[in-house]
Amino acid sequence: AQRVTQPEKLLSVFKGAPVELKCNYSYSGSPELFWYVQYSRQRLQLLLRHISRESIKGFTADLNKGETSFHLKKPFAQEEDSAMYYCALSPGGYQKVTFGTGTKLQVIP
């Protein structure tokens, strides 16, 4: 069975400081990893996926298979980054996507 762990419920950083939202997973195969974001009063939306190796809104995430981690990083936090962030794992195919418990990022002006 797959599991996604986000150890921090709340992460507070000052504007301009670096951000790292932690995500660890357990799965025996080669999963796809994603980060989803939910801004205040908005629906959940995809932020980025590991296979794309892209940077979205300054955020990047690298899949570390050795450490089974997929941490989300941004060098300089902005106030508009304040949101709830969810790490998610997909085994592939038509199986369900497993979400972590989420981390609330609070960027202090």
Partner 1 sequence: GAVVSQHPSWVICKSGTSVKIECRSLDFQATTMFWYRQFPKQSLMLMATSNEGSKATYEQGVEKDKFLINHASLTLSTLTVTSAHPEDSSFYICSARGQGMNTGELFFGEGSRLTVL
Residues lying near partner 1 in the complex (CB under 8 A) are found at 32-34, 36, 43-46, 49, 51, 86, 88-90, 92-102
Residue number with CB closer to partner 1 (74 or 98):
98
**Minimal distance, residue 75 CB to partner 1, in Å:** 26
**Minimal distance, residue 36 CB to partner 1, in Å:** 8
Residue number with CB closer to partner 1 (19 or 89):
89
Residue number with CB closer to partner 1 (43 or 109):
43
**Minimal distance, residue 24 CB to partner 1, in Å:** 15
Strands annotated E in the chain: 3-5, 10-14, 19-21, 24-26, 32-38, 45-49, 60-61, 72-74, 83-90, 98-99, 103-108
- Distance between CA atoms of residues 36 and 54, nearest Å: 14
**Minimal distance, residue 107 CB to partner 1, in Å:** 18
- Distance between CA atoms of residues 69 and 105, nearest Å: 19
Closest CA to 88 of 46, 53, 57, 54: 46
Residue number with CB closer to partner 1 (44 or 56):
44
